[in-house]
Amino acid sequence: MPELPEVETVKTSLNTLVSGKTIREVRVYYSPMVEGSIWDFQNALKGKTVQSVSRRGKYLLWHLGDTTLVSHLRMEGKYYLKDVDAQKDKHEHVVFVFDDGESLHYHDVRKFGTFVLRETETLFATPPLDKLGPEPLSEAFTPDALRPYLKGERSIKTVLLDQRTVAGIGNIYADEILYCAGVHPKTKAKSVRDADTLVRCVCDILIKAVRDGGASIRSYKNTLGESGRFQLNLNVHTREGEPCRACSHTIVKTKVGNRGTYYCPHCQKR
DNA sequence: CCCACTGTTTTAGG
DNA sequence: GCCTAAAACAGTGG
């Protein structure tokens, strides 16, 4: 499911729903999702209070004092707050039980999501967060920060999807950003000269998507079970065969780096 | 039934 | 270092 705008929306929900709660117990029903031993994982979390939840790229960070829980939703991960005695759904693989009788259920049909515990002190110096590029909505993401990546033979879409370039862009938003910038997704990175426009489009698209609570294309729902609204504002992604909103030419679907890729052949030239 | 596809990331092999 | 294909997994649609 989630790219930066969706993860940001989940982060906001989790902050209101679980900040200040103390973990009484953690139940793990599918252990490959958790790094290391389940026993260590459960014991490290037991008794910890959730100070806040933040986001770095597509990762959710549960701040627990000396320890930070790093959660990645991958394709389909979702969190739902339930009563402690609620029936566990078939696709719920981790349940956090709080001492106030509520529980947070991690739901993930494809079981791709991951949980790792890190010492807060070295959180950003150890995988998986150590190689991430700048936050696209921070001051650190500037044309000068992007320019070093605008070289080489890789396609510009591949570069935007590389989390080392900038953190949080995935398949939907890469397509929308390149449409905004008027750049064909297969353009070689070295041929993209206008770093300013690209940075502006990254910010524009992501800010609007965050404002809309993310995009719900197939399965994405936020922690309150609500759909996002940004799918209504998509210009190219999932619009194969439909007319471009700007020029009426037909939106085309192709593959770039093995990912389904949509673009307008008239507005986006190589 | 079979194949392709799906919002991610990592890894193997050329 | 690059690129591709495949892997982790489950569901859906043609």
The whole-angstrom separation of Cα A36 and Cα A153 is 38
Mean pLDDT in residue range A35-45 = 96
Q: Tokens at residue A226, please?
A: 């609500």
CATH class, domain A4-125, is alpha beta
Q: For the residues of A191-232, what is the DSSP string, one character each?
A: G---HHHHHHHHHHHHHHHHHTT---SSS---TTS---SGGG
pLDDT > 70: percent of chain A = 98
Nucleotide nearest to A188 (CA to C1'): C2
Residue A58 known to be catalytic? yes
Residue A221 has a pLDDT of 66
Q: Residue A226 pLDDT more than 80?
A: no
Average pLDDT over all residues of chain A: 94
Domain ranges of chain A: 4-125, 143-263
| CA torsion, ordered A50, A230, A181, A74, to nearest 10 deg | 40
Structural contact between residues A154 and A102, judged by C-beta atoms closer than 8 angstroms: no
- The burial of A26, by beta-carbon neighbours within 10 Å (0-12 exposed, 13-18 middle, 19 or more buried), is given as buried
Is residue A220's beta carbon less than 7 angstroms from any atom in nucleic acid strand B?
Answer: yes
Q: Tokens at residue A93, please?
A: 């693989």
The whole-angstrom separation of Cα A78 and Cα A58 is 13
Tell me which fold the domain A143-263 belongs to.
Helicase, Ruva Protein; domain 3 (1.10.8)
What confidence tens digit (pLDDT) does each residue in A57-111 have?
999 999 999 999 999 999 999 999 999 888 999 999 999 999 999 999 999 999 9
What confidence tens digit (pLDDT) does each residue in A161-207 have?
999 999 999 999 999 999 999 999 999 999 999 999 999 999 999 99
Higher pLDDT: A156 or A224? It is A156
Of A74, A81, A110, which is closest to residue A93 (Cα–Cα)? A110
Q: What are phi and psi of A74, to 5 degrees?
A: 45, -125
Q: What are phi and psi of A171, to 5 degrees?
A: -65, -40
Residue A219 has a pLDDT of 66
What confidence tens digit (pLDDT) does each residue in A101-117 have?
999 999 999 999 999 99
Q: Residue A127 pLDDT more than 70?
A: yes
Q: pLDDT band at A228, cuts 50/70/90?
A: confident
The secondary structure of chain A in percent helix, strand, coil, rounded to multiples of 5, reads 30, 25, 45
Q: Which nucleotides of B are covered by protein (CB under 7 A)?
A: 5-10
Is residue A6's beta carbon less than 7 angstroms from any atom in nucleic acid strand B?
Answer: yes
Residue A40 has a pLDDT of 96
